[in-house]
Each structure stands twice: as structure tokens, then as C-alpha cells.
Chain A
Amino acid sequence: MSRTRHPIVSRPRQLALYVVLWIPLTLLLVYLLRAAGLTGQDTGMLLWLLSPVYALLCLLAWYPCLGTPLNRSGVIRIVATHSVAAALISGTWTIFAIFYVSGLALLQPFQGLSQMPGLYKLIFGTGVLIYLLWAASYYVIQTMESSQTAEQRVIEARMLARDAELRALKAQINPHFIFNSLHSISALTSIDPAKAREMCISLADFLRTTLGMGEKSLIPLKDEVDLIHRYLAVEKIRFGARLDMQESIEEQALGTTIPPLILQPLIENAIVHGVAHLPEGGWIRLQAQSIDQHLVIAVDNNFDPEYKSKRKSGIGLANVRERIEARYGQEGSFVASAEGDRFHVGITLPVERSAAA
């Protein structure tokens, strides 16, 4: 919005500066007219009106600049636009001068003005030059403003991303998951000590990996899938045969990088709101493939549509959505939908090849 508003008319301080800048321009006009042989009186009579009028007309130079931004328009288009605009604006000014001078000719002391040779050519010529001067200034303003807003947007996006990241990490490790797992371990200690130990190790592996991932901004998809396996190793002990996990991940997709902890919350959501409410058990299907520079991920699961969870559902999902939006904006997408007894989450991320930290 700020980029389309007139940078001078919309701001009183800029307007004052603009008026002040017209003083040296007027002095330049005085110099040129005097050099062309006009008397001091004639010059004054001309410029007291012509100079303010042209100051007003030159405000219009903003619009051709707005229509042909430097970075997005070809040279030919820029030259053509400004040639036409300069001719129109300076031409208007010259025509105004012609009428004004003919009016002045009715007054005794200024009759000589209209006979002055080359006066209108001079006015038109200076008009074109002054127009170009302002057009150039507008381009400078435009460039400054757009670099400023771009910088601001980058800063905003980065802050949002950091914010979402921090919140995500805080919410990431679900305390109920830990407590339930510990409870299962305590059950196993007496009936199957070896399995209890195995579950302790799986839980520790999962926690360590999750905590470590928070420090990275990008990880290979493979690492996230490994994390999911650690998570499932724990959940499978709790849910036993009730948990049926199916994976189909394209080999090529495994190497692409993603922000950490994007997929694990989706799987956890599928368990907490799906499998956990299905006494006969439930399935989760994870699919990932790379399709023209994008990583396309789908997590599907079944759930009990009759069971309306009273707990706030989808905190994990909202978190993932926020992080994707903050990081990729229009480049990424997140959809979640329920149909019948199936829940689907689809994610598209642009492929980031750099393994930047």
C-alpha cells in the first residue's frame, strides 16, 4: 500500500522539502531566461506563475515511475514511457505559458514577451529536463522504499518463524506421552525386564533426538523419518497390535531437507486422535515424494468420527501450519481435512537443497 501512495503529496514533511527544492530550480529558470535576453521584469512576471504551476505538474511524474518500476520493466519501455510523459507534462506547461504570455501581451509593459524568439522552445526544453530530474528522484525514492519494506518483511518473517519455532519446540514433547510411556515401562519391569529396558532406550533416543533437532533449521527428510521410527518404537509398545503404520517414501525424497519436527507432530496427532480411540486399532499412512522442486507429503489415518474429543485437538497441527506459513509463505502449503472416518494432512514444501545451519 505504502508503495503506491504518492511519496510527496501524502507526507507533509516531504511536501515542504519539495517546495524548498523548487527554489534553486526557479533560480535556474531565472538564469536561463535572463541568459536568453529577457529583462528582469519579464522574467519575474513569467516565473511567479510558471514555476509553481510546473511544480504542481511535476508531482505527476510519480505515476509513470510507478507504472514502470526499474527492476521489472525493460529499458525500451522505460525510455518510451518517460519520453511520452515528459512531452505531455512539459507540453502542458508550454501551452499554459503560451496562453499566459498572450494574456500578458494585453498589458502595455509586457508586449515584447510574445515577440521573444525561441521562448517556448526554451520553456519546453527546460520543462523536459526538469521532468527527467524529478522522474530520476522518484526512482531513487522508490528503490529506497522497496528495499526498506523488503528488509522489514524479511525481519518480520524471521521473527515469526523463530517465534513459531520456539512455541513448537515447547509444545513438541507431549508430557502425556512421556508419562504414559513411563507407566508402560513400570508395567514391563516386572513382566518383561528386557522389554522395559528396550522401551527406556527408545524413549531416551526419541527425547534426545527431538531436543537436538531444535537447534537445526533444516534436516534431511531421512532424519525426520528416523525420529518417527523412534517415536513409533515407543508407541508400539503401548498400543501393541492396535497401531498399524504404513510408509511409502520415495528414495529421492529422503535426501531433500525440511525444517525439523514437521512430520513427527502429524504422526503423533494421528495416534492421539486416531489410533488411541479405536479399540480394534487404526492405521496411519505416510507418503512422501518429490515432484518438480517440491516435496509432497501426505499423512492419512482413520479415526472414530463418533468420538468428539473434548480436549483441544490439533495444537500440533496448528503449530506445523504456522511454521510452514512463516517459513515459506506462498511457496508452501498445508491442508488438513476429515472425510468420513479418514483424516488427511497434506503438505507441500519447496525443496531446499542447501544444508544451511
Chain B
Amino acid sequence: MSETKKIRAVVVDDEELARQVLRELIAAHPEIELVAECANGFEAVKAVTELKPDLLFLDIQMPKLDGFEVLELIGGDMAVIFATAYDEYALKAFDVHAVDYLLKPFGAERFEKALQRARERMGTPIPPPADLAQAARAPGDHLDRVVVRDGTKVHIIPCAKLDFVEAQDDYVALASEGHKYLKQQTIASLEAALDPKSFLRVHRSYIVNLERVSRIEPYGKDSKVAILRDDTRLPVSRAGYDRLRTVLEGKG
């Protein structure tokens, strides 16, 4: 970070007065330029994608997308400072490599400290966003929806509406209600995040929603194919077939 370049900051909070506090504290620092203020997660994703700020002040409990979901969607090289009234997310915040965690109400002194930490951390890359999402989840806690960013647009796919997932290089394609959504994540990390009671890895490249499977048919010499309710055919590997059988027989 060069001496002359200004730090570009974005503030995300659904409460106008909370944004006001940060606006005021930032105003005392001429080297920081407040480039956007957002009142919800969607706006935050859009602003961060377009403006690529260096510093992000992020509330956690917000309409539409919570702070962690915003972070999962934008990832990237910026310093993140959470600002919330809830202390129970602090550990999770550091798991996702937040620079600091400001508990409301906070004043100038605490704010300066956070800013200091942010300056030290700026320029250090943080892990890819999907891994962040995984770090933010407690063991045994499964996703109930998947968020996907498409440019500056955000799609929210409830897991119940997710039909299957297909691996495509560094991406996964999420099939839901006839649409496919691309997300930068490995199929293994998505598999780990989904509820194993509903989703099963049937193939190296496929995860299927068990509720969508209508039948399994033999295909070729020793492989099988899963036929979904909408007649989509997904390859099933031998290991995948074994897993599938265990689950289906276990269900009786």
C-alpha cells in the first residue's frame, strides 16, 4: 500500500444510525475514502464487486444475506472488520479471517485499534471464499441454502430446491428448478457442507439430492445411471452406487 493511495472503504449495515457512527469515525481519517454505504447484503455484494474496496465494515444480522454470506460471495483481498451487537459470532469471525470484531456500541478508541490492525493486514491474501464459508460453519451444522453470485447479482438457492451438483474444474454447477448456477467452490467442500441425509456424492463429479432420484438403472458393463424425476440422467460410480444402496436401504 503506497503512502499516497487512499484506503477505499465500504460500510454495510442495515441501520442508518449505525452507518452514521462509522461515517463519522471514518471522516476523522482523511486517508480513508468512504466509497459506498450499503443497507443490506445484496447491495454489499454489488458494491464490493464493482468497487473492489480495501476495507469493509460489515454488520452480521442483516436482511436478505447475513454478513458471513456476503463474505462468502465476495471473498477477495480486502480487510474485513465486523461490527455487530452480537458477541456470539466473534470466534466465527476470526475463523473467516476477519481483521477485527467491533462490538456495538463502540467509540473512536476501539475503532482506531481496528483500523490499525486493518492497516497491518492489508495486502495479505486471505483463503478462497468457499473455504471461508466452511470455516464459518460449526461441525454438524449444515447449509440450509446456497448463495451464488452472478456478476453483481446474488441468487439464493434453498437446499430443498437444489436438484444436483456437477463439478466443473474449479467450479460447481448447481442445478435448481431448471436453471444452472456456477459457483467457485470445490465439489468436496460443498459435499461437506450439505446435509448428508439429503445429499449424496454418487460420482466423482456429481452430488444428487436424494429426493429427486426416481430410479437407478444399469448402464454399460459395471456402471449405473441415476434417473431423476425430471428424467435427467446422472452417472453413478461403483462407490457411489454402494453409498446410495446403503442410504436407501437404511431408509427402509
Q: Taking chain B's interface residues, is the majority helix, strand, or loop, or is none over half, making it mixed?
A: loop
- Would you call A276 and B61 a contact (CB within 8 A)? yes
Q: Which of A187, A190, A311 has the most CB of B within 10 A?
A: A187
Cβ distance A78 to chain B, nearest Cβ, rounded Å: 57
- Nearest A residue to B158 via CB reads A306
Cβ distance B141 to chain A, nearest Cβ, rounded Å: 8
- Would you call A180 and B85 a contact (CB within 8 A)? yes
Inter-chain CA distance A30–B155, complex, in Å, is 96
Question: Assuming A179-B85, A179-B103, is B63 touching A304 (CB within 8 A)?
Answer: yes
- Nearest A residue to B24 via CB reads A190
- Would you call A276 and B18 a contact (CB within 8 A)? no
Residues of B within 8 A of A310 (CB): 66
Cβ distance B132 to chain A, nearest Cβ, rounded Å: 16
- Would you call B24 and A304 a contact (CB within 8 A)? no
A239 close to chain B: CB less than 8 A: yes
- Would you call B61 and A187 a contact (CB within 8 A)? no
Question: Assuming A176-B85, A190-B24, A306-B156, is B64 touching A184 (CB within 8 A)?
Answer: no
- Nearest A residue to B102 via CB reads A183
CB-CB contacts below 8 Å: A168-216 with B:
175-176, 179-180, 182-188, 190-191
A279 close to chain B: CB less than 8 A: yes
Cβ distance A356 to chain B, nearest Cβ, rounded Å: 38
Residues of B within 8 A of A186 (CB): 21, 105, 107
The answer, among A176, A183, A277, for a CB contact under 8 Å with B17, is A183
CB-CB contacts below 8 Å: B149-165 with A:
156, 158
- Would you call B64 and A277 a contact (CB within 8 A)? yes
* Interface size grouping (class) on chain A: 20 to 34
Pairs across A and B, CB under 8 Å, 16 listed = A180-B18, A182-B105, A183-B17, A183-B105, A186-B105, A187-B17, A187-B20, A188-B17, A238-B17, A240-B16, A279-B39, A279-B64, A306-B64, A306-B158, A307-B63, A308-B158
CB-CB contacts below 8 Å: A81-105 with B:
none
B15 close to chain A: CB less than 8 A: yes
B145 close to chain A: CB less than 8 A: yes
Q: Which of B15, B18, B39, B103 has the most CB of A within 10 A?
A: B15
Residues of A near any B CB (own CB < 8 A): 175-176, 179-180, 182-188, 190-191, 237-240, 276-279, 304, 306-308, 310-311
- Would you call B21 and A183 a contact (CB within 8 A)? yes
Question: Assuming A183-B104, A186-B105, is B63 touching A176 (CB within 8 A)?
Answer: no
CB-CB contacts below 8 Å: B1-39 with A:
14-18, 20-21, 24, 39
* Interface size grouping (class) on chain B: 20 to 34
- Nearest B residue to A185 via CB reads B105
CB-CB contacts below 8 Å: B100-117 with A:
103-107
Cβ distance A218 to chain B, nearest Cβ, rounded Å: 33
Inter-chain CA distance A186–B18, complex, in Å, is 9
Q: Which of A175, A183, A238, A308 has the most CB of B within 10 A?
A: A183
Inter-chain CA distance A306–B144, complex, in Å, is 10
Residues of A within 8 A of B156 (CB): 306
- Nearest B residue to A188 via CB reads B17
Inter-chain CA distance A76–B2, complex, in Å, is 104
Q: Contacts A182-B104, A184-B17, A187-B24 known; list 14 others, CB within 8 Å.
A: A175-B85, A180-B15, A182-B105, A183-B85, A183-B106, A184-B15, A186-B21, A187-B20, A190-B24, A239-B15, A277-B64, A278-B63, A306-B156, A307-B64
